[in-house]
Structure 1
Amino acid sequence: MSELFERHRVLLERAVQATQERTYWSAFSEVPSGKIYGESAKADAAAAFDSRLGKPFNLPDHPAEAPIGNEVSPYGFRLGITYPSASINTLVNASKAASKAWAEVEPEARVGSCLEALVRLNNRSFEIANAVMHTSGQAFAMAFQAGGPHAQERGLESVAYAYAEMKKVPSKAIWSKPQGKGEPIVLEKHWRIIPKGISVVIGCNTFPTWNSYPGLFASLACGNTVIVKPHPSAILPLAMTVDIVRQVLAEQGLPPDAILLGPDTAGSEITRDLLSHRDVAIIDYTGSTSFGEWIKNNTQGDVYTEEAGINSVVIGSTENFAGMCDNLAFSLSLYSGQMCTSPQNIFIPSKGIETNEGAKTFNEVANGIASAVDRLLADPARAAGVCGAIANPATLERVDSGRTLGRLIRDSSAVEGQGDARTATPLIVAVEPDASDTYGEERFGPISFVIPVDDVRDGIDRATALASKKGAITAALYSTNVDDIDFAANRFARAGVNLSVNLTGGIFVNQSAAFSDFHVTGGNPAGNASLTDAAFVANRFHVAMWRKPFQEAAE
């Protein structure tokens, strides 16, 4: 049995249990505290990040033909880090060369190596936070949590599912079929886990680790070799990940080329050619719907996607108007709306709603949300910590054009005191219900629409119809009517959307908890896979059998 597997057996067993119970459990602390990660961890990580700037990133023994890299921090400076790059054929050949040895490693040893890598990644969470912050634009606290412990837990979750699915297949059994009065037919049967082959993980700009770790670790645990293709603007977090996994493999005498880095630059992307290679068997992708459709139509591998969606909020009534507005304000502001779970469309009855503060008109509800955003972001330091920076300059262009799409409820502005950083606070625009060309497209970034509807059920119908057609990952409902809540739960479930109801406290529609929340259902165009369920891992391997007549061993 693998020494690393035994070292982390308790962690693995608890993770498997958590996937079955779906109650709260956390393997890694989300609190960036020196008492947990070491008193000097934050300062040491900042120094380590600074020491990488302007230098080549060292990946020992990794295929390398030319240095590449042109990352620019959304906070206003160039990273100047270069990474070893190689041709697609070189990467694929190196991956194939490692695949036989990696596939023959017993599942427990592969799982143990993945667990060790995740623990080491957790120990480096402060350094990863700096890397995520200065490639994605997330504020530090969010970069720490989402880029560090939360991403690591999603990776652990996929390893737990992979282990559970592989363990459902026994390695050996004696099969005995009765033959009436004759002797039974007795066979000795053996089963083996057979990996699919080369897996390619396509990283995204906004959540480079959180969205990549599930597929990366699921494939590795199931015996597939992995090529990680980061977004050109967010290479560093995944380069660090590849480096740490390779270190673990090398120390165990396992092939480090079981995981490789395939960086590129904007305008010279290798993605299409890499994914089209005949030896690529598995593809994990997060990004736009258009490129997701290209992948599904032009590649031969098994494809797991998380794509764009249009998330909606439907407001019917509330017992806590201020709490509702504050909760939505945070959801709209968090990471400047650059989350795949951020709400875009807010459907409000044109006749207004009933609240604990009395009846509120459509405009009063819209302005209540806008005022809550103003209160939340009034302090520049808090605004910077909530909004972070804008990952892609194109998002600022969308905000500028968004001002002309309807009646301005709240204008967007830069966050004060952020120097050269790209920043933008939420833009809220009122549009008519027949303006589906406006609100019926994803407007990625801090752009939201308030839309008058006949009543709460009309809002639910519009939101679910849009989700079924264009995709959605999350939805929120505010209602004091039990029948309306049941109606919404049924409609959103059929549309393949996860629904949150009456959130007013410290949990938000944007957030997804590992080991409890299934992120994306796979039931609408926002993605064909869920992070993480059994279906996400079970098809990453085949089962092969050999059998022979059973003969009892001589005594």
Structure 2
Amino acid sequence: MATTHPAPALPFSPERLPTGVLVDGRWRPASGGATFAVHDPATGEVLTEVADGTPEDGLAALAAADAAMPAWRAVAPRERAELLRSVFETVTARIDEFAAVITAEGGKPLAESRAEVTYGAEFVRWYSEQAVRVGGLARTAPGGANHQLVLRRGVGPALLITPWNFPLAMATRKIAPALAAGCTVVVKPAGLTPLTTALFAEVVRAELVERGLPAGVVNVVPTSSSGALVDPLLADPRLRKLSFTGSTEVGRVLLRGAAHGVLRTSMELGGNAPFLVFEDADVPAAVQGAVQAKMRNAGQTCVAANRFLVHESVADEFARGLAAAFDDLVVGPGYAPGTTVGPLIERKAVDRVEEVVAQAVDGGARVLVGGDRPPAADLPGHFFRPTVLAGVDPGARAVQEEVFGPVAPVVTFTSEDEALALANGTEYGLVAYAYTRDVDRVFRVAERIEAGMLGINRGMVSDASAPFGGVKSSGLGREGGEAGIEEYLESLYVAL
């Protein structure tokens, strides 16, 4: 397994980025004047300081969003659509700038960061097209005595809480449908990667100003204390919608907080994705798909394959092929030429991955490749080598928990029923992957799998035009596709 040596960081000019709180169209310092540091995970060095938003800043942002809501809801759908289309074109034209910021604060290889910009921008384009397609209903009541009219309108000011691992795509996946539906927003970006979200918000802010539209439509409040900021917002009757992407544990806390105001909620929570390889699979293709499903962002994605459930007849072939593919990956800073696997986001993430691997090995698993950190003298940041584990006990933490790192545990099965029992034997149900040539089996798996998404003979499912979300403890609601804008709309029934 190759490693790249630290290279000079890509041109990064934090002084050109907004680092304050955005309230009512103006970037300003936090009300208390405090800041917190944003680090480069490839080196641990500080990139810049960002305003540490307070509860007062959050409430000011909500006040701005609430004040702008009537005027924004009244803006013609076509005008909202054209604004979003212009934002899409701006982000696409500035792909290198956005990718550089994503890599600097998140550690992704530049190629992955560019792919995120393309993916994230696609949500803006998609919802620019959906803004003018919000349907309604007009019909004669069944009894014939009156007519029924159903209007659709934005639900109200929305609090959007985004994760660190896709700082652009997760922001656009929430902001774009909210704006298309006629909602105003308060965005709380992840404290680990707030710069990309701020850069996108500045693009939207500038577009709003240029068009003479309400300044408080998009507000952003970074903070180092999420609970202190969010709790007062959830308790405020002006807030009508909450959308969160993150862990199931935090999601449960937010749902309890949202219950008081009976808020509309969207929750995209944790996962423990099974990757099933049946005995009739094209094993080389499955290996290729497994690398794609596992190793994006060094395994730090909610849709990353977490458990590799492989039929015993092809398990050795698959494990050897996956180990060889992992061994070809190049570990290093995301801005270094040739890097295919960047760092984990912070030191404690590396510590956790190391513990999970050690526990699996203590339980009898074999390390086929990786299994440790690269020497700090070569890579001083938060790195862990891509790892394949064979002979893993199904009860190991590597199988039972969402690892969120570059570790692929291989577990064998003997029958389709056993495979599905293993796949469904978790509280999570975000996504699953399956490799098989049997068309009948494809439909059996689709009917029995407990997941919100299923990839068949492919290691990637995400698409801006498709509904993204899970079942069980993996969340509520959907983002993307036609379903995504529905999360920000309410119905008004008029009896005529």
Question: Shorter-chain-normalised TM-score: which range?
Answer: 0.7 to 0.9
Q: Work out the CA distance in 2 between the residues paired with 1:489 and 1:176.
A: 38
The TM-score, its normalising length taken from structure 1, stands at 0.75
Q: Offset of 1:178 from its aligned partner?
A: 12
Deviations 1:218-273 (A, max 9, x none): 11122211111011111111111111111111111111111111110257752333
Distance between the aligned counterparts of 1:105 and 1:460, measured in 2? 49
Query: What is the distance in 1 between the residues matched to 2:382 and 2:49?
Result: 21
**Is the counterpart of residue 385 in structure 1 residue 385 in structure 2?**
no
Q: Of 33, 47, 55, which aligns to 1:79?
A: 47
Corresponding residue for residue 468 of structure 2: 519
For residues 333 and 38 of structure 2, the distance between their equivalents in structure 1, rounded to whole angstroms, comes to 27
Structure number with greater CO (CA < 8 Å, separation at least 6) is 2
What does residue range 122-521 of structure 1 map to in structure 2 within 5 Å?
122-146=92-116, 148-165=117-134, 168-169=135-136, 194-265=153-224, 270-299=229-258, 300=261, 301-318=263-280, 320-350=282-312, 352-353=313-314, 362-377=315-330, 385-406=339-360, 407-409=365-367, 410-414=369-373, 419-431=379-391, 434-435=394-395, 439-466=399-426, 469-473=427-431, 475-492=432-449, 495-503=450-458, 509-515=459-465, 517-520=466-469
> By how many angstroms is 1:341 displaced?
1.4
Structure 2's unaligned 5+ residue stretches are 1-8
Superposed displacement of residue 71, structure 1:
0.6
Distance 2:38 2:131 in 1: 34
Return the alpha-carbon distance in structure 1 between the equivalents of residues 231 and 396 of structure 2.
Answer: 32
Structure 1 residue 80: Cα displacement: 1.4
Counterpart of 1:94 (choices 64, 82, 86) is: 64
Mark the CA change 1:364 to 1:221 in structure 2 (over 3 Å): closer, same or farther: closer
| AA partner of residue 347 (structure 1) | L
**Does 2:491 align with 1:536?**
no
**Could you give the per-residue CA deviations for residues 123-178 of structure 1, whole angstroms, max 9, x where no partner exists?**
222111111112222111111111x121010233234334312xx238xx898999
How far apart in 2 are the matches of 1:51 and 1:238? 14
Letter in 2 for 1:208: P
Summarize the Cα distance change of 1:46–1:134 in structure 2 as closer, same or farther, 3 Å threshold: closer
For each residue in 1:510-534, what CA deviation from the matched residue of structure 2 results, as whole angstroms up to 9, or x when unmatched? 452332x4322x4332222222233
Contact 1:405 1:429 in 2 (8 A): no
Q: Please give the per-residue CA displacement for 1:486-544, whole angstroms capped at 9, x wherever unaligned.
A: 3223222xx234223334xxxxx1452332x4322x43322222222333322523355
Deviation for aligned residue 1:94:
2.0
Q: 2 CA distance for matches of 1:61 and 1:378?
A: 40
Question: Conserved in 1, the CA contact under 8 Å of 2:306 and 2:408?
Answer: yes
Amino acid at match of 1:476: Y
Question: CA–CA distance in 2 between the matches of 1:540 and 1:121?
Answer: 23
Q: Tell me the residue number matched to 1:18.
A: none
Amino acid at match of 2:387: L
| Residues 376 and 447 of structure 1: CA distance in aligned 2, closer, same or farther (over 3 Å) | closer
- The 8 Å contact of residues 286 and 305 in structure 1, kept in 2 or not, is answered as yes
The 1-side partners of 2:286 and 2:143 are apart by 67
Work out the CA distance in 1 between the residues paired with 2:433 and 2:60.
Answer: 47
The CA distance in 2 between the partners of 1:380 and 1:72, in whole Å, is 13
Question: Hey, what does 1:50 align to over in structure 2?
Answer: 13
Change (3 A) 1:254 1:421: same
CA deviations on 1:89-117 (whole Å, 9 max, x unpaired) are 22222222222222222222222222222
Alpha-carbon deviation of 1:289? Answer: 0.4
When residues 235 and 459 of structure 1 are mapped into structure 2, their CA distance, relative to the original with a 3 A threshold, is same
Aligned match of 2:37 in 51, 70, 76?
Answer: 70
TM-score (norm 2): 0.84
Does the 8 A contact of 2:428 with 2:471 survive in 1? no
User: Could you say which residue in structure 1 is the equivalent of 2:4?
Assistant: none
Identity %: 19
Q: Distance in 1 between matches of 2:180 and 2:289?
A: 39
Write the distance in 2 (CA, Å) between the matches of 1:373 and 1:448: 10
The answer to whether the 8 Å contact 1:399/1:412 transfers is no
Q: 1:363 to 1:490 in 2, by over 3 A?
A: same
- Secondary structure of the 2:13 match is helix
- Give the drift of 1:206: 0.5
Letter in 2 for 1:390: L
Residue 477 of structure 2: SS of its match in structure 1? Answer: coil
Give the aligned length: 471
Secondary structure at the residue paired with 2:232? helix
Change in 2 beyond 3 A, CA 1:175/1:484 = closer
Pair 213,379 (structure 1): closer, same or farther in 2 beyond 3 Å: closer
SS of alignment partner, residue 37 of structure 2:
coil
- Comparing 284-293 with 398-407, greater Cα deviation is found at 398-407
Amino acid corresponding to residue 525 of structure 1 in structure 2: S
- Gapped regions of structure 1 (runs ≥ 5): 1-44, 180-184, 354-361, 504-508, 549-555
Larger radius of gyration: 1
Q: Which residue of structure 2 lines up, in the alignment, with residue 28 of structure 1? A: none
455 and 91 in structure 1: CA distance in 2 versus 1, 3 angstrom threshold: same
Give the direction of change, closer, same or farther, for the CA distance of 1:364–1:546 in structure 2 (3 Å limit): closer
